């Protein structure tokens, strides 16, 4: 029996000889497990893994990043379009050896100082960087989800990125002779995203702006989703559930898990936190003390939120 993997947003179908072969490549289970975030990170994120934490503008998986730091993961290759505070945290906490990205910064505020310190001065350890354009990285996820070795796109004419990233190649179209850009597909060991809700079977509903969460999840061998709530019935409109349970590994209930970014329909962006991060991240000692107090010094994200709220009220 053949099984066809058809990936939304791609131009390809991947045909596997058997259902077991399809599941083996993507480490697919019949149903996602409902776990605590601590259990999910402990079981499914290991030292040396390639990890993508995706979310665009909102639904950024902050709680998962905290738990990765709390459990002391190291030597990770981090992948993300537009890395922001969570990657500044992971890099500064010594979890990363490499960053694959397209643009990076503290949105609306300034630079990622822990990222800059790692690249420029090797603190807390040297960081290898691999920079792409947004379109490049999005297509690389689609290629990974489609089981393809590389992505092809029209891009980089007049750009200097190919000069600093030798993985950006050129290929000639066999049909038209047009020269196109080609980049390796991205297939994370683990993708982590945050969403509004899941049902008890592990089907996930994302509402509001979508980035590349779907593509990153389908490209990964394993996928962890943190959610604001778990419900009996998603009450989702037709075709709205783009991440069914069979595409996921674990679903974790973590209310507020995208803070300080916003979660459409649940809470707003905490602009004060983004502004406060800048002086914290600028100084090594201040950053280390903050991580020890608010992440390593807390049991979970709920305790972090309580401690942060107390600090904000005091100020």
Domains of the chain are: 26-133+186-305 (3.40.1080.10), 134-184 (no CATH)
pLDDT at 32: 92
pLDDT at 27: 54
**Mind listing the pLDDT tens digit for each residue in 179-230?**
999 999 999 999 999 999 999 999 999 999 999 999 999 999 999 999 999 9
pLDDT at 16: 45
> Is the pLDDT confidence value at 83 over 50?
yes
Taking residues 33-47, what's their average pLDDT? 98
Is the CB of residue 72 less than 8 Å from the CB of residue 296?
Answer: no
Q: How far apart are CA 241 and CA 197, in angstroms?
A: 10
Is the CB of residue 60 less than 8 Å from the CB of residue 84?
Answer: yes
Q: How far apart are CA 68 and CA 95, in angstroms?
A: 8
pLDDT at 122: 98
Range from 2-6, 204-208, 257-261, 289-293 carrying the lowest mean pLDDT: 2-6
Q: How far apart are CA 283 and CA 116, in angstroms?
A: 12
**Mind listing the pLDDT tens digit for each residue in 12-21?**
444 444 444 4
**Mind listing the pLDDT tens digit for each residue in 151-188?**
999 989 889 999 999 999 999 999 999 999 999 999 99
Q: How far is CA 298 from the centre of its chain?
A: 23
pLDDT at 111: 97
Q: How far apart are CA 273 and CA 22, in angstroms?
A: 43
Q: How far apart are CA 304 and CA 254, in angstroms?
A: 12
pLDDT at 236: 86
What's this model's pTM, rounded to 2 decimal places?
A: 0.90
């Amino acid at each position: 029996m053949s099984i066809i993997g058809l990936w939304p947003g791609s131009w390809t179908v991947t045909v596997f000889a058997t259902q077991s072969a399809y599941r083996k490549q993507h480490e697919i289970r019949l149903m996602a497990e409902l776990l605590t975030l601590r259990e999910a990170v402990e079981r499914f994120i290991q030292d040396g893994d390639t990890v993508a934490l995706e979310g665009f503008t909102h639904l950024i998986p902050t709680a998962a990043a905290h738990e990765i730091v709390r459990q002391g993961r190291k030597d990770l290759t981090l992948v993300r379009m537009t890395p922001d505070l969570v990657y500044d945290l992971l890099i500064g906490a010594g979890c990363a050896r490499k960053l694959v990205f397209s643009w990076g910064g503290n949105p609306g505020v300034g630079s990622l100082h822990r990222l800059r310190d790692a690249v420029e001065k090797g603190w807390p350890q040297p960081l290898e960087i691999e920079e792409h354009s947004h379109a490049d990285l999005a297509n690389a996820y689609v290629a990974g989800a489609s089981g393809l070795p590389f992505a092809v796109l029209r891009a980089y004419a007049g750009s200097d990125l190919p000069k600093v990233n030798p993985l950006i190649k050129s290929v000639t179209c066999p049909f038209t002779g047009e020269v196109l850009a080609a980049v390796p597909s991205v297939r994370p060991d683990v993708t982590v995203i945050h969403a509004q809700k899941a049902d008890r079977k592990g089907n996930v509903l994302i509402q509001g702006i979508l980035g590349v969460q779907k593509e990153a999840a389908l490209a990964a061998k394993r996928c962890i989703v943190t959610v604001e709530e778990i419900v009996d019935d998603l009450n989702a409109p037709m075709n709205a559930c783009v991440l069914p349970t069979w595409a996921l590994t674990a679903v974790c209930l973590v209310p507020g898990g995208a803070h300080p970014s916003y979660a459409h329909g649940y809470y707003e962006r905490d602009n004060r936190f983004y502004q406060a991060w800048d002086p914290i991240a600028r100084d090594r000692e201040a950053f280390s003390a903050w991580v020890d107090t608010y992440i390593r010094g807390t049991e979970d994200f709920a305790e972090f939120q309580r401690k942060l709220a107390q600090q904000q009220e005091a100020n």
